[in-house]
Amino acid sequence: MASRRDPVAVIGLGRFGRALAQELARGGTEVLAVDRRADIVQKLSGQLGQVVVADSTDPDALAEIGIADIPRVVVAIGNDLEASILTTALLSEIGVPDIWAKAISRQQATILERVGAHHVVFPEQDMGERIAHLVSGRLLDWVELDPQWVFAKTRPPREIVGVPLGETGLRTKHRVTVVSVRPENQTSYSHAGYDTVLTYGAEIVIAGRPADVERFVELQ
């Protein structure tokens, strides 16, 4: 299993791959960035430590850049379905222990998983869903851990303001949990406990199933 200190290879330097590689590098992770387009590699050569031109659908090219020595690889190829699938399959054959792949459809995700991807992400879809929740006006933030569990930042509804959380019956009535709170006029969050009393100006982070969280937010 790869650890946080291990290097990461990012294959495909479109908008998503580029942003991912740059963010990993900013966080101190050693990154090998790969793209078949020489002009893209040239533009990024001063921004990332290792940027190479290589055709990830060519097993000899993958061997030449030492991809087998990198325990975590992200296939960030977007619209070229054939290249995305073939690259993922080659990485699996090589024995890369942790393969992440970008998908733009559920069908592509299914194929990527079948050919060896350990994790499949939908950056455009996930971001669209997150923005939709924020644009609706009730939420301050929305993070999906998986399709059945989310964290959301919001304001407390009237019915739980001024009452210790342990006395609100929140989990029984609404099937959500307040996990942290930022009191009004303060800049940091802290754990929410049984005795925590909320005010209207507070911000809270709640956890639960998406439908339950959405219903709870509508109580405002």
Joined tokens for residue 21: 């590689």
Cα 168 from Cα 77, distance rounded (Å)? 48
Cβ atoms 142, 154 nearer than 8 A: no
Return the half-sphere exposure (C-beta side, CA atoms, 13 A cut-off) of residue 196: 22
Residues whose CB is less than 8 angstroms from the CB of residue 210 and which lie 6 or more positions away in sequence, other chains included: 144, 147, 148, 150
The domain ranges of the chain are 8-121, 128-217
Cα 184 from Cα 107, distance rounded (Å)? 46
Q: Which of 166, 164, 158 is nearest to 200 (CA)?
A: 158
- pLDDT tens for each residue of the chain, 220 residues long: 445 568 999 999 998 899 899 888 888 889 999 999 999 999 998 888 799 999 999 999 999 999 999 999 999 997 899 999 999 999 999 999 999 999 988 899 999 999 999 999 888 777 767 776 676 667 888 888 777 898 999 999 999 999 999 999 999 999 999 999 999 888 899 999 999 999 988 999 999 998 899 889 888 7
Phi, psi of 102 (to 5 degrees): -85, 135
pLDDT of residue 105: 87
pLDDT of residue 137: 66
pLDDT of residue 1: 47
- The answer, as to whether pTM is greater than 0.85, is no
Cα 88 from Cα 73, distance rounded (Å)? 9
Cα 79 from Cα 83, distance rounded (Å)? 9
Sheet with 203-208: list strands edge to edge: 141-146, 149-154, 203-208, 176-182, 190-191
Give SS3 for 34.
Answer: strand
Alpha helix locations (H) across the chain? 15-26, 38-44, 59-64, 81-94, 106-115, 123-135, 170-174, 210-217
Greatest Cα-to-Cα distance within the chain, rounded to the nearest angstrom: 66
Q: Could you say which architecture CATH assigns to the domain 8-121?
A: 3-Layer(aba) Sandwich (3.40)
Give SS3 for 137.
Answer: coil
pLDDT of residue 219: 83
The type of residue at 188 is S
What CATH superfamily is the domain 128-217?
A: Regulator of K+ conductance, C-terminal domain (3.30.70.1450)
User: 166 in the Ramachandran plot: left (φ > 0), alpha (ψ -120 to 50) or beta?
Assistant: alpha
- In order of 162, 189, 205, the CA distances from 184 in angstroms are 13, 10, 14
